[in-house]
Amino acid sequence: IIKSSREYNFPLVIKLVISDNRNAFGLKYAKKYNIPYKYYSSDNQNLFERNSLVELKKRKIKFLCLAGFMKILSKNFIRSFHHKIINIHPSLLPKFKGLNTYNRALKNNEKYTGCTVHHVSPQPDSGNIILKKKIIIYDNDTENSLKKRILKQEHKLYPEAIRCSFR
């Protein structure tokens, strides 16, 4: 997303990166590209959300892109952004909501899987779908090989979904 945001005519400017993981790649990219960033522990969800909201409002941020964020945001947090929050999920939603998507797709003998960018709603992985990318599951796929192939597609799909969100 950060790399795409540097392209001509990309519809948004990244003003801030927030993470609850000190070692998140997003924080490393933010440092590299001189984007302001914040780390807040999510041990206390209310405090994490309050700190995040204060910072987001201070910077007048009106659109959020979640990436690698593995927490469920509260209804109040989501409401405060009028559903202008999007997320990416490593499955073809509505199939395999939640965790362990690669393993579940393999165990279910699916022929295809992929990734989905969707609006965030109070029910996890249930918001309106913006875009999906389908990939074939090969007979020799493992969780790790599937994860790597899906992640490559996520990096392409997410910027495209952001463009769609601003058309």
Beta strands of 36-79 (E only): which ranges?
Answer: 37-39, 64-65
Per the DSSP assignment, residues forming a β-bridge with 64 are 85
Instruction: Considering only the C-alpha atoms of the chain, give the largest distance between any 2 of them, rounded to a whole number of Å.
Output: 50
Per annotation, catalytic residue among 89, 118, 119, 155:
89
Annotated active-site residue 82? The verdict is: no
List phi, psi (to 5°) of 129.
Answer: -80, 135
Q: What is the dihedral sign for C-alpha 67, 42, 97, 119?
A: negative
DSSP at 132:
E
Confirm if 40 and 18 have CB atoms less than 8 A apart.
Answer: yes
What's the CA gap between 25 and 42, in Å, rounded? 17
Confirm if 41 and 20 have CB atoms less than 8 A apart.
Answer: yes
Q: Give catalytic residue positions.
A: 89
